[in-house]
Amino acid sequence: MRASGRTIIGLIRFMEETTVEQTELRERTPTAAVRPVTPRQRAATAARNGGEPTLEFAERVPYDVYTHASTLHGLQQTLSDDPGEMSFLMVSQIMELYFGLTRFELREAQRLIREDRVWDALAPLRRAGLHLEGLNAAWRGLRWMTPADFNRFRNLLGEGSGFQSAMYRHLEFVLGLRDPALIRPFRRQTEVHAELTATLAAPSLWDDVIALLARRGFDLPAALLERDVAVEHQADPRVEAAWVEIYSDNGPDNHLRLLGEALTEVAEQFGDWRWQHVKAVQRTMGAKVGSGGSAGLAWLQRSMARVVFPELWSARTSM
């Protein structure tokens, strides 16, 4: 599908006007509250309904009040009339939600690790691993797409690229993959830029784990513990040695070993997502240049060399 510059500008203006209208509508519409109920009230309602679901509500249905489903389903605004674009757009939005959910869990794990609550940190880390499984499964919704399928609407996306996902950058930064240059695209979005800057300036999950190991008595140098956390961590043999020692104890009370396995699952699932991204680009674009100005496939392949939690992997050679 081909589109003139005038058509693209018109589509952008339409989207901007639609967004403004939706914002004004939300501001005019009172927000209904979810009303808590007790087990006794639920039982009374079931008895009154004869076991059938409630069909009459004074306002919006409570499910929509809680999930904002009507809002979510109004966010799919395609730029073409090609039916395949809906899959591309919605899968991208689903991935955005999973990025945010995974980051939420990892930040909770960080909080608990900073408080030396290793056992409690295992739960959010396990949830994060499962959320990443869901994120990986989302790629299946695009396996039908050939280069011809993508080309029918790709030009309309302009310079739009997954490279520009702010939430994905948050997730990378929390996992320890850090490159200050990658927040530059958001300089005109001051709030987004400030949030990314704050995430970059704070310790990553791996930084917090290393600090935990030091508190647990492992011999780690002060230079490692006091380094500039905005700079990507480089693998250190003393951190590797600490994990070799941790894994030498197979006892059920070795919570650090359990932590290592939970982190390994997160790293593996995240690596799987990155690899599936590479394969999806190969399938739909080959080695064409990327929409966001990069070399596309070649750029993604180079980025795979950066490893999440590197000493957890290198330590396995010495175990």
Q: Which residues are annotated as a binding site?
A: 154, 277
Classify residue 202 by burial, with Cβ atoms within 10 Å: 0-12, 13-18, 19+: middle
Domain co-membership, 238 together with 113? yes
Of 48, 72, 96, which marks where a domain is finished? Answer: 72
Domain co-membership, 137 together with 39? no
Domain co-membership, 258 together with 147? yes
Range of the domain at 14: 5-72
Closest Cα partner for 250 from 239, 240, 235, 261? Answer: 261
Confidence label for 303 from pLDDT (cuts 50, 70 and 90): confident
What is the per-residue pLDDT for 290?
59
Compute the average pLDDT of residues 24-39: 66
**Count of domains forming the chain:** 2
225 vs 240: CA distance, rounded Å: 15
Average pLDDT, rounded, for the chain: 88
What is the per-residue pLDDT for 30?
45
Q: Which residues are annotated as a binding site for heme?
A: 277
What is the per-residue pLDDT for 27?
42
Domain co-membership, 163 together with 304? yes
Distances in Å between the alpha carbon of 311 and those of 122, 233, 257, 266?
19, 11, 13, 14
pLDDT digits (tens, 9 = 90+) for 173-195: 999 999 999 899 999 999 999 99
For residue 233, pLDDT over 70 is answered with: yes
For residue 283, pLDDT over 60 is answered with: yes
CATH (domain of 195): 1.20.58.480
204 versus 29: the higher-pLDDT residue is: 204
Q: Which residues are annotated as a binding site for substrate?
A: 154
Domain co-membership, 90 together with 171? yes
Domain co-membership, 221 together with 111? yes
Of 15-29, 147-161, 280-294, the range with the highest mean pLDDT is: 147-161
Domain co-membership, 269 together with 290? yes
Q: How many CB atoms lie within 10 A of CB 95?
A: 22
Give domain status of residue 78, yes or no.
no
Of 41, 72, 103, which marks where a domain is finished? Answer: 72
What is the per-residue pLDDT for 295?
55
What is the per-residue pLDDT for 161?
78
User: At CB < 8 A and 24+ separation, what contacts does 236-239 make?
Assistant: 236/311, 239/210, 239/213, 239/311
| Structure-token pair, residue 157 | 């996306």
For residue 24, pLDDT over 80 is answered with: no
Domain co-membership, 280 together with 226? yes
Tell me what percent of the residues of the chain surpass a pLDDT of 90. Answer: 73
Domain co-membership, 194 together with 100? yes
What is the per-residue pLDDT for 223?
94
What is the per-residue pLDDT for 243?
98
Confidence label for 70 from pLDDT (cuts 50, 70 and 90): very high
For residue 13, pLDDT over 90 is answered with: no
Lowest mean pLDDT among 7-16, 77-86, 125-134: 7-16
Closest Cα partner for 244 from 314, 315, 309? Answer: 315
For residue 1, pLDDT over 90 is answered with: no
Contact (Cβ atoms closer than 8 angstroms) between residue 117 and residue 258: no
What is the per-residue pLDDT for 158?
86
